Amino acid sequence: MNTLALKAKAAQIRMNLLKMIHGAKTGHTGGSLSNTDILTALYYKIMTIDPADPKHPDRDRFIASKGHSVESLWCILADRGFFPKEDLDTFSRFGTKLIGHPNNKVPGIEMNTGALGHGLAISVGMALAAKRDGKGYRAFCLMGDGEQAEGSVWEAAMAGAHYKLDNLIGIVDRNRLQISGSTEDVMGLDPLEDKWASFGWNVVSLDGNDVEALVNAFAAAPEVPGKPTLIMANTVKGKGVSFAENVPHWHHHVPNDQELEQALSELTALIESYRKEEEAQ
């Protein structure tokens, strides 16, 4: 996919997750909208994965440590063919495998997550195993910025640098909002880039809603041999829906019928603009 196709795909994924959350009447809307571009870059351009063989030993590993924002991931896994798209209609229904956090009974999910602060430590283990087994796969771990208050994140960060895991890529969805408000009001994090660098990581700060910048950064990792990479993805919570952007209430707000209609209209117009731009090139 070229950049415009990736942007259109991200907009379509946003439409899908909004419809899924609306139908289930539950979900974490704001964070899923903010991380969609990150996941789009990884799953459509960067990671070595095979939906027909989801446990291939040489696959890249992805861990959604901020597991509550799973809706975008479910939509992408369905779109890539890990499971039927019709399964999205069962999201959060009784007996479904598509629950509100990643569930490793679903193809494409490496581990159950949602208790924040656990994903990076598991990713360190995966990256270390690849090194010791002489494998070339990489481990990608998506964390929330509110999650950075967990001490286990920093223990894992220290271990990743100690073992020189340059096949490990951590990503912080830095949308600056968590369930109870601004991250800087709840538990101040800045200067967050400097903290990661002080733990021995190569830090790349970028616009986390720019798929081209994300693709370039992921493809370049590791820029520094012997160092794990931390992508500080500066995002907008609720990205793509004008009235949801940077609004804390949308952390787990379920769009009503009118809000869904307006959001889908905005995203449809965005996709159409990408199509016209591509035709003009």
- Integer Cα distance of 263 and 22 in angstroms: 12
Residues of the domain holding 162: 3-280
- Long-range CB pairs of 178-187 (<8 Å, 24+ gap) are 178/144, 178/145, 178/146, 178/251, 179/146, 179/248, 179/251, 179/252, 180/248, 181/248, 182/248, 183/145, 183/146, 183/148, 186/146, 186/149, 187/146, 187/149
pLDDT of residue 13: 98
In the predicted structure, residue 61 carries a pLDDT above the cut 90? yes
Q: What is the mean pLDDT of residues 216-238?
A: 98
Residue 47 has pLDDT above 90, yes or no: yes
pTM greater than 0.85 (yes/no): yes
pLDDT band at 281 (very low <50, low <70, confident <90, very high): confident
The sign of the torsion formed by the CA atoms of 176, 182, 187, 189 equals positive
Other C-beta atoms closer than 10 Å to the C-beta of 236 total 20
Model confidence at 114, pLDDT cuts 50, 70, 90, reads confident
The reported pLDDT for the residue numbered 121 is 98
Q: Is the pLDDT of residue 92 over 90?
A: yes
Q: Cα dihedral sign for 257, 97, 115, 112?
A: negative
CATH of the domain at 53: 3.40.50.970
Question: For 228-271, how does the pLDDT look when each residue is reduced to its tens digit (9 = 90+)?
Answer: 999 999 999 999 999 999 999 999 999 999 999 999 999 999 99
- Average pLDDT of the chain is 97
What total number of domains does the chain contain?
A: 1
Residues 6+ apart with CB under 8 A from 93: 24
Would you say residue 275 has pLDDT above 90?
yes
**8 Å CB contact between 162 and 192:** no
**Strand-pair partners of 224:** none
Distance CA(173)–CA(207), nearest Å, equals 10
Handedness of CA 91, 95, 101, 105 (dihedral sign): negative
> In the structure encoding, which two tokens stand for residue 115, read together?
């208790």
